[in-house]
Structure 1
Amino acid sequence: MTFNVLPGASDMLDVIERYKRLYTGLVYDIMDEMGLPNQSLATDLRPLRDDMVIAGPAFTVQGISDPVGDPGLRERRIKMFGDMRHPCIDVRDCGFDTRVAHYGEMNAVLGSAKGVVGAVIDGGIRDSGLILKMNFPCFRRYHSPVEAVARWSYYRWQQPITLRGSMSATVTCRPGDFMFGDIDGVLVIPQERAIEVLRLAEEHAATETRARAEFADPTKDAEEVYGRYKKL
């Protein structure tokens, strides 16, 4: 995947840090104005801790129910993690399963070693206390102590996946689409629009900063300030 990185932004890490200085409400508004209103994931996808933020290109994983046990699970998992590259977000389509934990501490440990900088699990997690101790950014739908082995397994990865949406029933996430999430939710930003969204969001954020300062100034006429910033 190739990003059209702005001049002066040396690599994807710079893009990630710039996104992290923003917030999802602002970025969503920009995408809405650009005709991309359906890129917000389901509202019950929440961060494991409220201050966790994720930003980075998606490494997509699709799983399926596995009632008999995948005999090649260990090898498949090792191959999958071996394909991950820094920096990426582990994004999992869990097939609408609501029974088991699709992610746990060992996934976070293996992923971190391969350069994963966060996870979005459209399903369940376990070992939550251990993941919190790692300070590993993780978004999930629910918690479950139930092991996934012989109940759910990896099907394929680095293919387009389907995640549950908030403004639409589902959101397609492709390998390399830019994931951005905070306490308010998670956005899937099409990779070919990620830099454009970033530029516009940064411009809007700068305007918001000026507006906040003026609204907070008791010497300023609030109606006059509002008139200049009413589009915010």
Structure 2
Amino acid sequence: MNDPYSYGVDVQTLVDRYRALYSGAIYDVLDGLGLPHQALATDIKPIRQDMIIAGPAFTVKGISDAAGNVDMRDRRIHLFNDMRATGVPLLDVRDCSFDTQVAHYGEMNATVGAASGVIGAIVDGGCRDTAFLLRRDFPVMARYLTPVEAYQRWSYYEWQRPIALRGALSSVVPVQPGDFLMGDLDGAVVIPKSLVIEVLEKTEKLVATENEARQDFESGQDPVEVYRKYGRL
């Protein structure tokens, strides 16, 4: 079986390099590669404006659990051991089946997750215990905040399977285990695993070009000449 977290480059190195970029530049590169539908829905935002999140997806699918499915609750305790077993830094990426009633992520998830290799979470749903998350500077992106407990209302169903998060230009964006996600104040984008290195290198080159053009603009050079020099910015 192929390792979803094998990229030919150390994962922490990839995380650090992606965190040095910004979502808009990554989106532009994906768009240029013919992938315009990789941005997540516009209401999936960081719980603090300056939070930056990047890493490979550990995918989680959840469903409504109003009946309190005991077997499901017993099985879900293995989720965090499976995270730890990957041996790499991870993003906990949650498909909440469009539920809008409860908090699908909170401080205990972050505490256990961090001990299992999780470095952040992107949740197509709700978050609570936000003050605790902010105090520990744990990056989370979510659709909304709520105090409503998920217990017996929503539960993990399966993990490390393909999931779908709501999209900005499409109804959903597919996410596979090992795909990279990067998010900041503007929103989040999904980078397919097969393109993680290519998109990273092209985005770094784009950002370097933008920095050079910015310096030329700030030095007072003719804007027309700067645009001719660098092309589309």
What are the equivalent positions in structure 2 for 1:123-202 lying under 5 Å apart? Answer: 123-202=125-204
Q: Note the alpha carbon deviations across 1:164-194, whole angstroms, 9 max, x for none.
A: 0011011110111101111000111100001
User: What residue is the counterpart of 1:113 in the other structure?
Assistant: 115
Alignment partners' CA distance in 2, 1:103 and 1:224: 50
Matched ranges for 1:70-109 at <5 A: 70-84=69-83, 85=86, 86-109=88-111
- Unaligned 5+ runs, structure 1: none
Gaps of 5+ in 2: none
Displacement after TM superposition at 1:60 (Å): 0.3
CA distance in 2, matches of 1:25, 1:105: 29
Deviates more, 1:119-128 or 1:76-85: 76-85
Q: Deviations over 1:3-48 (max 9, x none)?
A: 444xxx5x11111111111100001000000001001100000000
Q: What is the deviation of 1:162?
A: 1.1
Q: Secondary structure at the match of 2:168?
A: coil
- Give the RMSD, CA atoms, in angstroms: 1.2
Amino acid at match of 1:96: F
Show the counterpart of 2:61.
62
Aligned partner of 1:214: which letter?
D
Instruction: Quote the offset at 1:134 in angstroms.
Output: 1.1
Normalised by the size of structure 1, how large is the TM-score? 0.94
Q: Give yes or no for contact 1:3–1:192 (8 Å, CA) kept in 2.
A: no
Partner of 1:227: 228
1 CA distance for matches of 2:89 and 2:96?
A: 22
Amino acid at match of 2:60: V
Asked if the contact 1:3/1:195 (under 8 Å) is kept, the reply is: no
**Contact 1:124–1:144, Cα closer than 8 Å, also in 2:** yes
Distance 1:4 1:108, change over 3 A: closer
Q: 1:136-184, CA deviations, whole angstroms, 9 ceiling, x for partnerless residues? A: 0000001111111111111100000011001101111011110111100
Indicate conservation of the 8 Å contact 2:76/2:157, yes or no.
Answer: no
Distance 2:216 2:155 in 1: 54
The verdict on how the C-alpha distance between 1:123 and 1:2 changes in structure 2, with shifts beyond 3 A counting, is: closer
How far apart, CA to CA, are the structure 1 residues paired with 2:6 and 2:224?
Answer: 42
Partner of 1:72, secondary structure, is: helix
Aligned partners of 2:157, 2:77: CA distance in 1, in Å? Answer: 13
- For 2:219 and 2:148, the matched residues in 1 are separated by 54
Distance in 2 separating the partners of 1:47 and 1:132 = 11
Distance 1:96 1:58 in 2: 19
Contact conserved, 1:28 with 1:37, CA < 8 A, in 2?
yes
- Identical counterparts, % of pairs: 53
Going from structure 1 to structure 2, the CA distance change for 1:59 and 1:77 (only over 3 Å counts) comes to: same
Q: Does structure 1 retain, via aligned residues, the 8 Å contact 2:72–2:157?
A: no
Which residue of structure 2 lines up, in the alignment, with residue 22 of structure 1?
21
Cα contact 1:52–1:182 (8 A) shared by 2: yes
- What is the one-letter code of the residue matched to 2:125? G
Shift in Å at residue 224 of structure 1?
1.4
- Tell me the residue number matched to 1:214: 216
* Structure 2 CA distance for partners of 1:230 and 1:169, relative to 1, 3 Å: same
After the TM superposition, list the runs of 4 or more consecutive aligned residues in structure 1 that deviate by more than 3 angstroms: 2-5, 72-75
